[in-house]
Amino acid sequence: MRWWRAVGLSLVVTLIGMAEIAYGHGPGLFKPTIAQLALVLVGAGALLVRQRYPRAVVAVTVLCGAALPAFPPHLVLADVPAMVALYTLALQAGRRTAAAYGAVAVVLLTGSSMWWLPGHLFDIRNVLPLNYVVAAVAIGDSVRNQRKLLAQERRRAAEAERDRAAEARRQVREERVRIARDLHDVVAHHITLVNAQAGVAHHLLRTDPDRAYQALAGIKDTSRVALDELRATVGLLRADDEPDNRQPAPTFAGLDALLDGFRQAGLDVRVTRAGAPRPLTGTADLAAYRIVQEALTNARKHGGGGTVDLDLTYSGDTLDVTLTNPAQPGVRGPGTGHGMIGMRERAESAGGRFTAGATTGTFVVQVSLPLAAGSETTR
């Protein structure tokens, strides 16, 4: 509390105490005695430090209020300094402490006035100290509870804001990982095809110009598709007010075009299909395309031969994809490159399963992805 508020409160309490004495006895104004004036000033002055020493201030104000009726002429009045002190104590110390001090205050203030009242024990004015003490403690406790609830709501709001910020940061991190994974898939796939087609063109340029020309045309088409996909992926990073130049994300329905690109690069892809084709879930659709794309890219770059067997099996509510290609000598284990990590993350994020590894001279990639619920089997 600012110093001027404390001083102003003490002055107001002093004026109230003087007014109660001046107007509390007979007609006209009554001049307070030195003792009455001293007790009023001490009680009001103690309120200057009520925030720092609430218990001591309650004790001082209650003792002053209990001593005031001992100096004639006798008065029955509301002890305002004690009410303010008890309110402050209930506000700071809590209900139990305020109730204990309030009980002592009721006993002292009631007892100090009972002995001189005409009816003594049976005078109705004996209940006045009880009334204003209970009111002061109850109001202070109520305000304390309201402030506590308000503080809790503010903490909850701050925690909710921190949670929202953390969730937003997590989503940003996941989006960055997804975009980085897409960039890796696009660049690795198309650069591998361009490199393979360039090698074919270089090899056939003198001996078979027509096939070399076809390989160069394939390089042109592959690079154009790569640029389109890079623009679509990088376009996700643009601000909302920038021109939107996004292309649709590839889907598993474009598998044949993907395989044709690899075949033009010299990779012999043999496809086996079992079961009636059915649509995949939204996330699994893109995941299936990217996983096949990455697996074929790895087979072209690291495989021990120029052939890949691709098996597609639709059964129940899953699509099982198996890619098998000859492995280079000495290849062991499932592989730990970024491509393998990306394929595994794509499959798991779509609710599927992914395994990969080299066995008996071949490298096998297997993935199971969920089909769209409620889709009808095509006959």
Half-sphere exposure of 232 (CA within 13 A, CB side): 14
Residue-level pLDDT at 241:
45
> From the DSSP assignment, how many helices (H) and strands (E) are in the chain?
10, 5
Closest CA to 109 of 83, 88, 90, 87: 83
The answer to whether the CB of 41 falls within 8 A of the CB of 94 is no
DSSP structural state of residue 350:
T
Closest CA to 308 of 208, 192, 202: 192
194-205: per-residue pLDDT in tens? Answer: 777 677 777 777
Select the CATH number that applies to the domain covering 267-379 from these four: 1.10.1200.10, 3.30.70.520, 3.30.565.10, 3.40.50.300: 3.30.565.10
pTM of the model: 0.46
Question: Domains of the chain: which residue ranges?
Answer: 3-154, 267-379
Q: pLDDT truncated to tens, each residue of the chain (379 aa)?
A: 467 777 888 888 888 887 777 775 556 667 778 888 888 889 888 989 988 899 999 999 999 888 888 776 666 567 889 999 999 999 998 888 999 999 999 888 888 877 666 666 666 667 788 888 999 999 999 999 999 999 999 999 888 888 888 887 787 777 677 767 767 666 666 677 777 767 777 777 777 777 777 777 777 677 766 666 666 666 555 544 444 445 566 788 888 988 888 887 778 899 999 988 888 877 888 889 889 988 888 887 777 667 899 999 998 889 999 999 988 776 565 555 667 888 888 888 888 999 998 877 888 999 999 988 755 544 3
259-289: per-residue pLDDT in tens? Answer: 888 887 778 899 999 988 888 877 888 889 8
